[in-house]
Amino acid sequence: MPFPSPSRPLSGPPLESSYRPPRRKLLVGAVGVAAGTAATAATAGCSESAAERARQAEQSTAARKLRERSARDSRTLATRYEATAGVHPALTDRLEPLRTEVAAHADALAASSSSSPSSSGTPGASTSAPPPDDDKPPSAVFGRRAATDAQQVPSGEGEALAALADAERGLAETRTKALLDAPPELARLLASIAAAGAAHAYLLGVAEDG
């Protein structure tokens, strides 16, 4: 009587052995991780360089002069509002909210200029003396200039409103053009103020028609 033949062993590696990936795959994976780490570091370096360039642009002499010039323009415009209200008291209630916003624009621009290191004695700062009115309270400066500008206010209310609208519109256009040369933070501030000026011009036109 024949005995059954022993079962044949299963093919493949022994059960107790663990899988080991080929050496080539390990090397490729390690290179990929290293490349990813290097790319991340390079991206971070580029971001830091861009941030540094932006900071230097905000602190440049050209940016400081643009801020100061823009602040003076807003102060001059605010005095025109005061002068117009002085000649035409009936328009005071209409003009005061707009004048208040214009004065706030001047303050915001002056604050951004004074916070720039280039305006406080660091290299690149201008050594020229500040304008005579810079150390006086805004209300005193506006009041004195308004008295002078009152002579230039049109005698008719409609013409006076139209003159203010033209001034707002012209200044908004000037600031829009200045965006091309302004650093990012200053450009955003000027764009916001220019948009407000365009809105003021529209409101003054509506008041004139009314």
pLDDT in tens, the chain (210 residues): 555 555 555 455 554 445 555 555 544 555 555 555 555 555 555 566 766 666 666 778 999 999 999 999 999 999 999 999 999 999 999 999 999 999 999 999 998 766 555 444 443 333 333 444 444 444 444 455 555 566 689 999 999 999 999 999 999 999 999 999 899 999 999 999 999 999 999 999 887 665
So what's the pLDDT on residue 209? 66
The candidate with the shortest Cα–Cα distance to 69, out of 148, 135, 131, is 131
Closest of 164, 195, 170, 193 to residue 94, by C-alpha: 164
Q: Which amino acid is at 115?
A: S
Instruction: Identify the pLDDT of residue 84.
Output: 96
Eight-class DSSP state of 130: P
* Whole-model pTM over 0.75: no
Asked whether 175 and 70 are in contact (CB, 8 A), the reply is yes
List the one residue out of 64, 39, 103, 30 whose CA is nearest residue 186.
64
Query: Whole-angstrom Cα distance, residue 91 to residue 204?
Result: 11
**Cβ atoms within 10 Å of 121's Cβ, excluding its own:** 8
- The reported pLDDT for the residue numbered 157 is 94
pLDDT of residue 88: 96
